[in-house]
Amino acid sequence: MGSGKSTIGSIIAKRLQREFQDSDHFIEGRTGVDIARIFDIEGEQGFRDRETNALKDLLGKNNQVIATGGGAVVRKKNQKLLQKTGFIVFLDTTVNQQMQRLRRDKKRPLLQTDNPRARLEELLTERRPIYLELADLVIPTDKRVARRLATDIIKQLPDYLK
């Protein structure tokens, strides 16, 4: 969350002449409501079920760059899907950077709490080891410009993806 997945993914897709998909936007388009509303109605479990179905559909197509939601990797089923069909880039971002990027964002259901920093730290503690284990490429993002990050990622992609 707040790592720049959508921004950087979009830049990479354009440079590689591929389609860009954001799994959260895909879910919103499919349901006709925003993620926060899905959380309100169905809870996190309901959203995660929708996310798994969206990943199955998105990963079934070739020549795409996909930005997943930050929590997609929590489910083992999603981990297997991603590993089997994708090249995984982890945008490694500190909580300080996330706080700066998300300070005005009121649409993130998991941050609607009295202490968003503590929630981000909790999520990072839970998810970072999974990201590191799954990632084919780890890119630190703090204090770096999206276009330069995209260039660095493209340079490090295997030839078959360029």
Q: Which of these CATH numbers, 3.40.920.10, 3.20.20.150, 3.40.50.300, 3.40.50.970, describes 5-148?
A: 3.40.50.300
SS3 at position 25: helix
The answer to whether the CB of 73 falls within 8 A of the CB of 83 is no
The pTM of this model reads 0.89
User: What is the pLDDT tens value at each position of the chain, 162 positions in all?
Assistant: 788 999 999 999 999 999 999 999 999 999 999 998 999 999 999 999 999 999 999 999 999 999 998 899 999 999 999 999 989 999 999 998 888 877 766 677 666 777 888 989 999 999 999 999 999 999 999 889 999 999 999 999 999 998
The closest of 154, 136, 161 to 15, measured between CA atoms, is 154
The answer to whether the CB of 23 falls within 8 A of the CB of 54 is yes
What are the start-end ranges of the E strands in 15-94? Answer: 19-22, 64-67, 89-92
- Domain spans of the chain, in order of start: 5-148
